[in-house]
Amino acid sequence: DIVMTQSPDSLAVSLGERATINCKSSQSVLYSSNNKNSLAWYQQKPGQPPKLLTYWASTRESGVPDRFSGSGSETDFTLTISSLQAEDVAVYFCQQYYSSPPTFGQGTKVEIK
């Protein structure tokens, strides 16, 4: 299985400031057929299911605010929240879908400083 490792486990950011979450895969998730990285990001608020934010590493899901952006390639990826809002307090997960079984990172908890 591909192991996904996120850092940090938690971070506290002031409102309006940038939050950066990292995700590292144990092997490349670059899909050669379309030259895209098979990496998705999800947001999970307490008591709710995860919500898809981005896929193919940087494609934002419809309806997701543009303050959320994904980047990275092969084994190293980043989710950036450009200006943290109160409603962004949540746990964020990365997930690879390059190979089965799909696997998730352990999650990063984002709080307000």
Partner 1 sequence: QVQLQESGPGLVKPSQTLSLTCTVSGGSISSGAYYWSWIRQHPGKGLEWIGYVYHSGSTYYNPSLRGRVIISVDTSKNHFSLRLSSVTAADTAVYYCARDRDSSGFSVLGYWGQGTLVTVS
Footprint of partner 1 on this chain (CB under 8 A)? 1, 38, 40, 42, 48-52, 55, 61, 93, 95, 97, 100-107
- How far apart CA 58 and CA 36 sit, in angstroms, is 9
**Residue 79: CB atoms within 10 Å:** 28
DSSP at 63: T
Mode of pairing for the β-strands spanning 30-31 and 36-37? antiparallel
Q: How far is the CB of 20 from partner 1 (least distance, A)?
A: 20
Nearest to 71 by CA among 62, 58, 81, 83: 58
In the structure encoding, which two tokens stand for residue 90, read together? Answer: 């949540």
Q: How far is the CB of 50 from partner 1 (least distance, A)?
A: 6
